[in-house]
Amino acid sequence: MAITDQERYRALKQTKLNHTREKCAQQGYMDADDYGSVPLPDGYKFVPIPPDGDFYGYAGWAENFEAFIDNHPVYVDRLELLCGRWCDKLTAYRKPDTDVPLEQRAFPGDRFPYDELLAPVYLYGLDTAIGSDTHFCSDYRIGLRLGWGGFLKAIRQGRVRHAQDPEKRAFYDAEEKTVLAIQRWIARHIAEIKRLLVAEQDPALRISLQKMLECNRNVIEKPASSFLEACQYMAWFNSVSRMYDRDGAGCDLDQILLPYYEKDIERGVLTRDEARFILANLLLVDTHYYQLSGCDLDGNDMTNELSYLTLEAAHELNIAANLTVRYHRNIDPDFFRQAVAYNFNDRNGWPRFSGHEGMMKYLNNQGIDQATALERIAVGCGWSAVPGRELPLNDLVKINCARVFEVALNEMMLSAAEAPKDVYYPAYEPSLERLSHLFKKHLARAVDGLAKCLEFHLSHMHQVMPELVMNLQMRHCIEEGLNVSQCAELYTLCVDGVGLGTVADSFAAIEQRVVVEKKLSWEQLFHALRTNFKDDERTRLMLKNSERYCQGGSLGDKWAEAVTQDFTALVRAQPMSEGKQLVPGWFSWSKTIHFGQQVGATPNGRGAYEPLTHGANPTPGFRRDGAPTALANGIAMVQPGYGNAAPLQIEFDPKISAEEGGIERVAQLIKGHLDQGGTLININVLDRDVLMQAHENPDSHPDLVVRVTGFTAYFCTLSPEFRQLVVDRFLDGL
């Protein structure tokens, strides 16, 4: 008897779980997105050229990518309809820059020195973009229109046009090598499909393998002409861009695929069930970020049948998926409700919700029109980009604001301690005003330091690490023979602050306990911080239980707004070279642990080196009732207002959905936040018992998926520190 769709879905999910176990065994804790990769086969080995990974520039990357992909295993599962999956990435073989311990990234500092940029990096705990990859969004419409053959043609035409320019010739040679290598990889898959087809006995799977074969015979060269081919093309692009340098930016999936879907349905060559299965397959191939729904320029809802089918596909598999529903005031209410309900039914952290109104604040940047702002979609962990046009470097550039605060406090207190005792020097007196002034001064220096790092990175990106895969789907790159860093239409560059809650609560605690109530002197406070509250738990608790951010109308809320205004103003005022501007956001990713390790005890009662607050979220335990509405209000008030995210991360107990009107309540919460200008909501629905069991023994629930920050991950793949973060947030939400 032929295999049924349901059996296939179940088998695919089981394979996925097995892969996760194997990857964990191979890689240990991953502390990152699941990415959809498959385990490395036994005996797999790649040696870069040269073997120490010191490769760079067009020729170096093309040569290595070619060798890498020619060596990379093929992946065809007879139960699937799409093929190709990645298990290794080229960036892992780059030579690390051991001279810069703050940075995890590889950058050839010996060739392009940047020592003079490092002082603020060390002082303020900056996360610079230097040496980083991707974090922009290419435009799949370009690739679907051209196909791999079309890319080659455009590359070769460009090479002829720019034959006199040696750097551009090198660019085109590298791009050509890249596309040819990808085509060879696809050809190896075609050979594997043929081999499987010969051996296949199941009639349904024979038909399916035949479809896979025909599809790939077309896709290897021609533009996609059917729904299946469009999805297969996207799957290839997703896999190769991951293998090249970990790109995960997707597209507005339900819009981009709609013409193919409608045409195939009309021709009678596709059913809803088949489309759902193909979409599930696409979600299985990789966890790229896709947006669903949204509205057009006139506010008309764009929810369509594919919006529903994509959610249904994710539901059938019920694995990690990075789907974002773009909420707007005219959204199809049934679709919106269904999207909320999936969070509770499937409990795997999808979909997320982005806010149309908040995201349209991208208009506040110079030179951005309505159409461009609308094009900017949620395609990253906590970020958005205009596909094919923008180089935002989102999520790469961060300021440890708690560290900036610490530097300011130290300067104030140490200068006061050193002041002559026999003469009155008002400037040395510690005060909230002086602390706030020093915080702004150091924050300005941190922003300036980051801006210089960004300029440096952009000026060398094409020489160090060109985006040979992503360039294919960016406007102007192939036409002009330039890397994306040289020809993006929009350089709206991200600067994220980290530790808003820690800083706001610290200011608030000082105002309440030192300035207003006078329970502590400045010196007592400073002593308590420097000794990490040793033998002084009462002082720590007094500070910790001050009026905190997200309580509603509290001192913490006041300071969170003030810090946001200062941060936003400084980032916006930072001069940049022509055509570039900085865009502020509050997004920590999972840097809360790393950045926390740079900061001693803080006046909000946080112990030395403990994690900072997450994204725009408050300190756990911010209110006794943990009211999600208070959380949502507080975070709506600290949106920087230029289109980048200050996400709301929220945890729910599944019981809420069982109650009459439970889903509607959560939907109302989402609406309420996003209508107030919120940009992004990440939701976890976790059963307390399951979570605690999995925390104790991660292997007890191998299929438990959580949204850690903007990304989802299998809980069992997270290190104990990351698991603890999720558990703390969850318990706080109860």
Partner 1 sequence: MDNASCTGIVTDIQRFSVHDGFGIRTSVFLKGCNMRCAWCHNPETISFEPELLLDPAKCIGCGQCDQGCYSGARRLVGREMSAEKVMREVLMDRAYYEGGGGMTLTGGEPSCQSDFARGLMQLARQEGIHTAIETNMSLPVDLLFPVLSLCDLLLCDVKLWDEQAHQKWTGVGNRLIRSNIQAADELNIPIVVRTPLVAGVNDEPEQIGAIAQFAAGLKNLLAYELLPYHALGTAKLIEGASPQQRFEAPDKQRILRLAQAAREARVPVRVAGVALEGV
Stretch that binds partner 1, among 187-195, 449-457, 657-665, 700-708 (CB under 8 A): 657-665
Q: Does 628 bind partner 1 (CB under 8 A)?
A: yes
Stretch that binds partner 1, among 200-208, 388-396, 462-470, 659-667 (CB under 8 A): 659-667
Q: Does 656 bind partner 1 (CB under 8 A)?
A: yes
Stretch that binds partner 1, among 318-326, 444-452, 545-553, 595-603 (CB under 8 A): 545-553
* CB contact at 8 A, 141 and 475: no
Q: Does 676 bind partner 1 (CB under 8 A)?
A: yes
Say how many residues touch partner 1, by CB under 8 A: 32
H or E element that contains 279? helix 272-285
Q: Does 659 bind partner 1 (CB under 8 A)?
A: yes
In angstroms, rounded to a whole number, what is the distance separating the alpha carbons of residues 709 and 711? 5
**From the CB of 680, what's the least distance to partner 1, in Å?**
17
Q: Does 334 bind partner 1 (CB under 8 A)?
A: no
**From the CB of 657, what's the least distance to partner 1, in Å?**
10
What is the greatest pairwise CA distance in the chain? 97
Exposure string over 416-445, b if 16+ CB within 10 A, otherwise e: beeeeeeeeeeebebeeebbbebbbebbbb
* CB contact at 8 A, 507 and 500: no
**From the CB of 631, what's the least distance to partner 1, in Å?**
9
**From the CB of 339, what's the least distance to partner 1, in Å?**
16
The separation between CA 302 and the C-alpha centre of its own chain, rounded to angstroms, equals: 24
Q: Which residue has the tokens 């819009």?
A: 255
Q: Does 299 bind partner 1 (CB under 8 A)?
A: no
**From the CB of 514, what's the least distance to partner 1, in Å?**
15
In angstroms, rounded to a whole number, what is the distance separating the alpha carbons of residues 103 and 594? 11
* CB contact at 8 A, 674 and 647: no
**From the CB of 405, what's the least distance to partner 1, in Å?**
22
Q: In what order do the strands lie in the sheet with 126-127?
A: 126-127, 398-400, 491-498, 580-585
Stretch that binds partner 1, among 134-142, 300-308, 387-395, 621-629 (CB under 8 A): 621-629
Q: Is the peptide bond before 654 cis (omega within 30 degrees of 0)?
A: no
**From the CB of 357, what's the least distance to partner 1, in Å?**
13
Q: Does 630 bind partner 1 (CB under 8 A)?
A: yes
Q: Which DSSP symbol is given to 590?
A: T
Strands (E), 22-153: 126-127
Stretch that binds partner 1, among 173-181, 430-438, 473-481, 623-631 (CB under 8 A): 623-631
Q: Does 677 bind partner 1 (CB under 8 A)?
A: no
Site map 219..238 versus partner 1, x via CB under 8 A: --------------------
Q: Does 552 bind partner 1 (CB under 8 A)?
A: yes
Pairing of strands 126-127, 398-400: antiparallel
Q: Does 527 bind partner 1 (CB under 8 A)?
A: no
Q: Does 542 bind partner 1 (CB under 8 A)?
A: yes
CA angle 333, 337, 342 (to 5 degrees): 150
Q: Does 182 bind partner 1 (CB under 8 A)?
A: no
Stretch that binds partner 1, among 32-40, 563-571, 582-590, 671-679 (CB under 8 A): 671-679
In angstroms, rounded to a whole number, what is the distance separating the alpha carbons of residues 704 and 47? 35
- What is the distance in angstroms between the CA of the first residue and the CA of the last residue of the chain? 49
The separation between CA 696 and the C-alpha centre of its own chain, rounded to angstroms, equals: 28
* CB contact at 8 A, 164 and 180: no
| Binds partner 1 (CB under 8 A): choice among 42, 115, 625, 699 | 625
H or E element that contains 582? strand 580-585
491 HSE (CA, 13 A, CB side): 17
Q: Does 330 bind partner 1 (CB under 8 A)?
A: no
Stretch that binds partner 1, among 40-48, 335-343, 379-387, 654-662 (CB under 8 A): 654-662
Q: Does 276 bind partner 1 (CB under 8 A)?
A: no
Stretch that binds partner 1, among 23-31, 295-303, 465-473, 651-659 (CB under 8 A): 651-659
**From the CB of 518, what's the least distance to partner 1, in Å?**
13
CB closer to partner 1, 81 vs 542: 542
Q: Does 633 bind partner 1 (CB under 8 A)?
A: yes
| Binds partner 1 (CB under 8 A): choice among 660, 689, 696, 699 | 660
Taking CA atoms, 59 is separated from 64, 172, 227, in Å, by 8, 10, 35
Q: Does 665 bind partner 1 (CB under 8 A)?
A: yes
Stretch that binds partner 1, among 185-193, 344-352, 606-614, 624-632 (CB under 8 A): 624-632
In angstroms, rounded to a whole number, what is the distance separating the alpha carbons of residues 35 and 57? 26
In angstroms, rounded to a whole number, what is the distance separating the alpha carbons of residues 520 and 175? 64
Q: Does 102 bind partner 1 (CB under 8 A)?
A: no
Q: Does 719 bind partner 1 (CB under 8 A)?
A: no
Q: Does 637 bind partner 1 (CB under 8 A)?
A: no
Stretch that binds partner 1, among 287-295, 374-382, 488-496, 667-675 (CB under 8 A): 667-675
Strands (E), 82-180: 126-127
| Binds partner 1 (CB under 8 A): choice among 18, 597, 629, 697 | 629
The total of other beta-carbon atoms located within 10 Å of residue 699's CB is 9
Residues paired with residue 491 on neighbouring β-strands, in sequence order: 580
| Binds partner 1 (CB under 8 A): choice among 672, 693, 721, 728 | 672
CB closer to partner 1, 260 vs 344: 344
* CB contact at 8 A, 530 and 523: no
Sign of the C-alpha dihedral computed for residues 107, 108, 110 and 116 taken in this order: negative
Residues paired with residue 36 on neighbouring β-strands, in sequence order: none
Q: Which DSSP symbol is given to 602?
A: B
Residues at the contact surface with partner 1, assessed by CB under 8 A: 537-538, 541-542, 544-545, 552-553, 623, 625, 627-630, 632-633, 656, 658-662, 664-665, 667-669, 671-673, 675-676
